[in-house]
Structure 1
Amino acid sequence: MSATTLDIVAIGNAIVDVLARADEAFIAAEGVAKGSMRLIDTETAEGLYGRMAPGIEASGGSAANTVAGIAALGGRCGFVGQVADDQLGKVFAHDIRALGVDFRTAPRSDEPPTARCLILVTDDGQRTMNTFLGAAQYLPAESVDAEMIASAAILYLEGYLWDPEQPRAAMRAAIRIARENGRKVAFTLSDAFCIERHRGDFQTLIDRGEIDILFANETEIRSLTQIDDFEAAVAAVAGRVPLLVVTRGDEGAIAVQGGERVAVPAEPIARVVDTTGAGDLFAAGFLAGQAQGRSVGDCLTMGAIAAAEVISHFGARPQADLKALVAQRLG
């Protein structure tokens, strides 16, 4: 097995986030469940954008947020995701490269435009996401750079991107390359709606031993197993993957590896401002800890630190010095 030049390479949706404040009445009027994520078409995206309050635009996407966090923690990262040859595509590419992330995916010249996520944030910090996938759902298998995948210690895959056919084929190709080169594969279930649509595929990936690290939250682990009891749901999966990581919101997170369970509490913060990116940054902290060879407990703590930082401000990318925060807690 050759030496690695990257710690993590991620495949995910290349999205530009548009975040704006909204009250409960606005969300109810839109007919969307608060705190959920829904996919929308071009017409819906344009209409909602016109009704939203003034907001901020920033490069996003679940796995892209994760590699941004890993880079902030000193990790060596690559990212594979499809943008269009338009202004938002240029913004995304510039932003992720400016973080030091290796981003080689060529922009797509045809319609549709670059993906965007319209995020409504209520006063309690909950985010309701309305995602127009645009060009992101046309990531072809040919865009997977075999050399990049083979050079990374961990391949990280975003469950959101399993939905469209082309990216799903691209991720399957990446898994094969990672496996052929003795690399680990990490997978995040992303959202219950992804699981409802692709439960069979996800179960097959697990049972074939193609996933080394599985990330889920409480809702997702219950959906995957179709078991309401949290502990029973964890038990149903823990023995089937080498490392299971489950986040539990303000109750912290757990990990199960080789039959051994480790738990950490959530990091205390003064106020939850915006939960956008909490799971993404938790994965960033955890994977960065893995790349550094830390214990599972330390990896969980790093995830909790990164998640706490991102929910303390508006937006899904870290603003404070994550390396300093980790050093203060773990040395």
Structure 2
Amino acid sequence: MTEPKPFNVFGVGNALLDILALVEDNFIETHDLNRGAMTLMDTIKQGKLLQQLESHPLELRCGGSAANTMMAIAQSGGTGIYSGKVSADTNGEFYQQDMIAAGIQFEIEPADTTQGPTGTCLVLTTPDAERTMCTHLGVSTTLSVTDINVDHLSQCQYSYIEGYLWDAPEPRQASIQTMEQSKRLGVKVAFTFSDMFLVERFGDDFRALLTEYCDVLFCNADEVRHFCGTEDLEACASQLGEKVNQVFITNSDQGCLVVENQTLIHVAGFPVKPVDTVGAGDAFAGGVLYGLTNNLTTAQAARWGNYLGSQVVQIHGPRLSESQHHKLAEIIH
């Protein structure tokens, strides 16, 4: 028998400090921002927006898509190691401490500040719960193959890689290296499309990844319809199920559609009134990955993911403030 691995998940992502603000609709219009989407911007433009928000209360959280997923794993009672690049600045220090305080190992050497600042994501939430994100990736785009600790990876049951890493060459290589090493070490590979714009830009890359490396795929209904070129969600699910063993497709308040060994399962969601949709998909993936690595059935894992996602949309920001493990038995019964 092989020894059980001590950690559940090895996460790789853009380490971004989230700066959260609640704004009125006219703030988005006045600054000509792409409402409901994520826009990359330089330090100067992001800095100008922050100046305009001086009178608003701002909250700081260590973030980035995969980081939020790792947080959800920890809050479910799971364990993990996170790889993301921060700078040796105050934001980087805050990020590292926030991650460790949440129970996730984070041991990447910070970059020298001459390479750029820690990445930041300004998350603007309007009264209808829509989030508009203004992101400066900073030093996160320098995450490289040498930052992937293969010894740490070998101690995890799954690796989890976010699609956002495809946007810069070094993180893309680091992602592929993580997948290749995972295959070599018997670590299962989970991947998330992350965003519609990535599916549009890197669809062919993602198709190759799914066939070659992927054991588990996370995506939402819009992304998968675009990826598969059809509006029929079940047809999309079947198409993906031919490439990947397990597929989890979130479909807002309708819960999710799961494909396992080419069999489709609908798992009901939790109807709630959303306040802020940021981080819901990330929390869902964390709940599922916790379930898959802690002896839940696939349907139970999806149900737990749906629950965490439904809790996150009821708060401002991408993650819950406390452990959710005590709710597990009640939710997945």
TM-score, normalising length: structure 2: 0.95
Which position in structure 2 is the counterpart of 1:317? 319
What residue identity is the alignment partner of 1:322?
Q
Contact 1:63–1:158, Cα closer than 8 Å, also in 2: yes
For 1:158 and 1:207, the matched residues in 2 are separated by 17
Q: CA deviation at 1:2?
A: 5.1
Q: CA deviation at 1:322?
A: 1.1
Query: CA deviation digits over 1:143-175, x for unaligned, max 9?
Result: 100001111100000111121111111111111
Q: CA deviation at 1:300?
A: 0.8
From 298, 301, 309, give the equivalent of 1:299.
Answer: 301
What residue identity is the alignment partner of 1:18?
I
- Equivalent runs, 1:1-331 vs 2, <5 Å: 3-52=4-53, 53-109=56-112, 110-208=114-212, 210-269=213-272, 271-331=273-333
Contact 2:238–2:259, Cα closer than 8 Å, also in 1: no
Q: CA deviation at 1:315?
A: 1.5
| Uncovered stretches (5+) of structure 2, i.e. residues with no partner | none
Query: CA deviation digits over 1:193-222, x for unaligned, max 9?
Result: 1112211110111122x0000000011112
For 1:218 and 1:161, the matched residues in 2 are separated by 21
For 1:240 and 1:322, the matched residues in 2 are separated by 33
For 1:323 and 1:76, the matched residues in 2 are separated by 12
For 1:256 and 1:221, the matched residues in 2 are separated by 13
Deviates more, 1:59-68 or 1:217-226: 217-226
Contact 1:305–1:325, Cα closer than 8 Å, also in 2: no
What residue identity is the alignment partner of 1:274?
D
Contact 2:75–2:322, Cα closer than 8 Å, also in 1: no
| Uncovered stretches (5+) of structure 1, i.e. residues with no partner | none
Query: CA deviation digits over 1:76-117, x for unaligned, max 9?
Result: 100000000000000000000111211110000023100110
Contact 2:250–2:257, Cα closer than 8 Å, also in 1: yes
Residues 320 and 106 from structure 1, CA distance in 2 versus in 1: closer, same or farther, beyond 3 angstroms? closer
Percent of residue pairs identical:
32
Deviates more, 1:259-268 or 1:100-109: 259-268
Contact 2:81–2:106, Cα closer than 8 Å, also in 1: yes
SS at match of 1:38: strand
What residue identity is the alignment partner of 1:33?
N
SS at match of 1:234: helix
Q: CA deviation at 1:330?
A: 2.4
For 1:233 and 1:277, the matched residues in 2 are separated by 24
What residue identity is the alignment partner of 2:208?
T
For 2:85 and 2:248, the matched residues in 1 are separated by 28
For 1:27 and 1:234, the matched residues in 2 are separated by 35
Contact 1:305–1:326, Cα closer than 8 Å, also in 2: no
SS at match of 1:18: strand
SS at match of 2:87: coil
The alignment covers a number of residue pairs equal to 329
CA RMSD of aligned residues (A): 1.4
For 2:259 and 2:128, the matched residues in 1 are separated by 31
